[in-house]
């Protein structure tokens, strides 16, 4: 069992530390509030670990640098916020298409545009899913605490390597900036998955048969990397059969490993009448409500918190909808995840949105006030 | 829920309140308590209003923001005017009388202590006023074990200033205890 000790840590620091624990040794980025502490922490830590920190001229170049370093065999991270996340989208699509692992952190702030740089919001949920064009697969994690930020970043790096798939850490300003007591294991005691141990003799960079590890440039294999649809060797193709097959394959990776990717947590009554479904920092407000309503007053209330928001945990939501009469979806935006919840609830439960978009955190009072209508 | 202590540190940017909140949070972690620290971000860091919150609890802390402060520190007049109406009468209030001149209301128990003045005159360094304030707060509330608190201050202080900061912390204790003993600095006795 790993030795752990309690420390006071900020969410952004935990993200950086999680990445370092998972073997990330390359960071390229352009600082932006409220994500700046991630860059600061990586700049302070990486040189001592033999890693590389580069402050690039902008977010487009940062994303490109991260992709380049990944093809060179590094584990990579970049962090940004709203406006910078918009700039990263094109190269993010490239990484998805070329199946290059990387982790992109977006510490969300109030938008659109430059918005309110220091205010929390959850407005980038759909951007994280559909920000880059085309029918692409994506994995998005949304931690609710400093602790979760640490461990989900490790999971993000591991999954990204294993599936050769970019993963997005969608943090809230509240989580990124708050300091909290966390138990952090000593270095070297964590599970860090390696993807490139067994390279088959007939290795192809984009093997039709399924997952193949990425062999970094300079390790004896020559291949082509492109954002165009490509054949098994990476060379461009427009052949309809190959195009369809390629798209099926990159989506199939996520379906095959769904159970490792989709993380949710349910607390509360076994036969709930009202269930709150939420993610990110809003989970904290919801948990305060459920603690009081269920643990103290034994009301038929539950909370499904989503650590993974994309791929959407449809199966879990569908199961909840069959049990509950009402599903409340609190979000710090004008309603983004609620549409997905509705889709999977299939009319089995009434889905009620609860939105806050004034740049303040959702309060427990707001949730319990709404909850009171059905109890 | 009665174990939950919400501490709000308010004043001007540059008075070291955010650092003080981190030191308090760190000390609480070392004292084996659950803790969450938050702060206001923005232009505040450059001279305007500054605010930091710390929540200490033996139970897990869900909602991370301070809503009902049990301890309030006001280091300047603007923050005093802003936050006093927002707290309940049971709240432990400590104000820096160097910068705050009241009005002190009768229904609140307000400890007005010359925090910055004492740091300047007795320690020769105004910058340690924040640690002095922490001393006064801990003397009033016993939030964290005193020795653990002192050790945490030493660890977090910049190299070479550990002892000075500890001295400031102890001076905060003395200031609070003397104020209590001589009935000085209690709101009803303080002239407006």
Burial of A229 (0-12, 13-18, 19+ CB in 10 A): middle
C-alpha distance from B55 to closest chain A C-alpha (Å): 10
Model confidence at B86: pLDDT above 50: yes
- Chain A residue with CA closest to B67: the answer is A363
Predicted confidence band of residue A363 (pLDDT cuts 50, 70, 90): very high
Predicted confidence band of residue B184 (pLDDT cuts 50, 70, 90): very low
The SS3 assignment for A119 reads: coil
| Whole-Å CA distances, B30 to A105, A197, B113 | 30, 42, 28
Whether residue A8 and residue B64 make contact (CB cut-off 8 A), yes or no, is no
Whether residue A284 and residue B25 make contact (CB cut-off 8 A), yes or no, is no
Whether residue B38 and residue A364 make contact (CB cut-off 8 A), yes or no, is no
Looking at residues B69-89, what average pLDDT do you find?
92
Model confidence at B138: pLDDT above 70: yes
For residue B104, the model assigns a pLDDT of 81
Which residues from chain A sit within 8 angstroms of residue B37, using beta carbons? 8, 178-180
In a mutational test of the A interface, the residue from B9, B13, B23, B36 whose CB has the highest number of chain A CBs within 10 Å is: B36
Model confidence at A231: pLDDT above 60: yes
Chain A contact present for B29, CB below 8 A:
yes
**pLDDT above 70 coverage of chain A, percent:** 96
Whether residue B64 and residue A34 make contact (CB cut-off 8 A), yes or no, is no
C-alpha distance from B33 to closest chain A C-alpha (Å): 8
- Determine the structural domain holding residue B146 and report its residue range: 5-189
Complex-level ipTM: 0.90
DSSP A175-212: HHH-EEEEEEEPTT-S----S-S---TT--TT-TTS--
What does the angle CA B15 – CA B21 – CA B23 come to, to the nearest 5 degrees? 105
Q: The domain that contains B67 carries what CATH number?
A: 3.40.920.10
Which residues from chain B sit within 8 angstroms of residue A178, using beta carbons? 36-38, 64
Q: Under 8 Å CB-to-CB from A353, ≥6 apart: which residues? A: A329, A331, A335, A338
Q: Which of A33, A179, A285 sits opposite B25 (nearest CB)?
A: A179
Q: How many domains does chain B divide into?
A: 1
Q: Rounded distance, CA A268 to CA A287, Å?
A: 9
Looking at residues A246-251, what average pLDDT do you find?
95
Model confidence at A214: pLDDT above 50: yes
Q: What structural domains does chain A harbor?
A: 1-261 (3.40.50.970), 263-374 (3.40.50.920)
Model confidence at A72: pLDDT above 60: yes
Whether residue A285 and residue B62 make contact (CB cut-off 8 A), yes or no, is yes
Whether residue A178 and residue B36 make contact (CB cut-off 8 A), yes or no, is yes
Model confidence at A354: pLDDT above 70: yes
For helices B146-156 and B17-30, angle between their N-to-C axes, nearest 10 degrees: 120
C-alpha distance from A348 to closest chain B C-alpha (Å): 30
- Chain B residue with CA closest to A183: the answer is B29
């Amino acid at each position: 069992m790993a030795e752990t000790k309690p420390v006071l840590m900020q969410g952004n620091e935990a993200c950086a530390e999680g990445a370092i624990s998972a073997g990330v040794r390359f960071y390229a980025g352009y600082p932006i509030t409220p994500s700046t502490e991630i860059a600061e922490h990586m700049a302070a830590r990486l040189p001592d670990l033999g890693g590389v920190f580069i402050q690039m001229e902008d977010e487009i170049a940062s994303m490109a640098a991260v992709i380049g370093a990944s093809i060179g065999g590094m584990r990579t991270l970049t962090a940004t916020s709203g406006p910078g996340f918009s700039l990263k989208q094109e190269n993010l699509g490239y990484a998805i298409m070329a199946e290059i692992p990387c982790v992109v952190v977006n510490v969300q702030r109030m938008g659109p545009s430059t918005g309110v740089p220091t205010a929390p919001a959850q407005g980038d949920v759909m951007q994280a899913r559909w920000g880059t064009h085309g029918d692409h697969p994506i994995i998005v994690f949304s931690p609710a605490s400093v602790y979760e930020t640490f461990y989900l970043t490790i999971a993000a790096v591991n999954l990204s390597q294993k599936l050769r798939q970019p993963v997005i850490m969608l943090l809230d300003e509240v989580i990124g900036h708050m300091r909290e007591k966390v138990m952090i294991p000593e270095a070297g005691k964590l599970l860090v998955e390696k993807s490139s141990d067994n390279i088959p003799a007939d290795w192809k960079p984009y093997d039709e048969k399924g997952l193949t590890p990425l062999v970094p440039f300079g390790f004896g294999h020559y291949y082509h990397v492109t954002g165009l649809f490509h054949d098994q060797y990476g060379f461009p193709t427009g052949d309809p059969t190959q195009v369809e097959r390629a798209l099926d394959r990159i989506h199939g990776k996520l379906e095959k490993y769904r159970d490792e990717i989709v993380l949710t947590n349910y607390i509360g009554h076994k036969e709930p009448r009202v269930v709150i479904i939420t993610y990110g920092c809003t989970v904290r407000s919801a948990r305060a409500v459920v603690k009081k309503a269920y643990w103290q007053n034994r009301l038929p209330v539950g909370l499904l918190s989503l650590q993974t928001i994309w791929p959407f945990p449809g199966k879990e939501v569908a199961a909840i909808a069959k049990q509950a009469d009402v599903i409340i979806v609190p979000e710090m935006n004008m309603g983004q995840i609620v549409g997905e919840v509705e889709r999977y609830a299939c009319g089995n439960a009434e889905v009620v949105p609860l939105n806050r978009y004034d740049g303040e955190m959702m309060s427990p009072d707001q949730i319990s006030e709404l909850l009171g209508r059905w109890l | 829920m009665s174990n939950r202590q919400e501490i709000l540190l308010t004043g001007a940017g540059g008075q070291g309140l955010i650092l003080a909140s981190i030191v308090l949070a760190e000390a609480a972690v070392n004292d084996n308590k659950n803790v969450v620290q938050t702060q206001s971000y923005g232009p505040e860091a450059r001279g305007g209003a500054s605010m930091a919150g710390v929540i200490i609890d033996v139970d897990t802390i869900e909602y991370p923001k301070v809503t009902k402060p049990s301890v309030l520190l006001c280091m300047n007049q603007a923050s005093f005017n802003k936050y006093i109406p927002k707290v309940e009468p049971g709240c432990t209030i400590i104000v820096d009388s160097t910068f705050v001149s009241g009005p002190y209301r009768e229904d609140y128990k307000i400890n007005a202590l010359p925090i910055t003045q004492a740091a300047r005159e007795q320690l020769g360094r105004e910058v340690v006023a924040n640690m002095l304030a922490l001393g006064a707060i801990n003397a009033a509330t016993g939030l964290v074990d005193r020795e653990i608190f002192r050790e945490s201050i030493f660890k977090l202080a910049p190299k070479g200033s550990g002892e000075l900061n500890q001295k400031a912390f102890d001076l905060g204790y003395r200031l609070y205890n003397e104020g209590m003993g001589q009935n000085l600095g209690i709101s009803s006795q303080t002239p407006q």
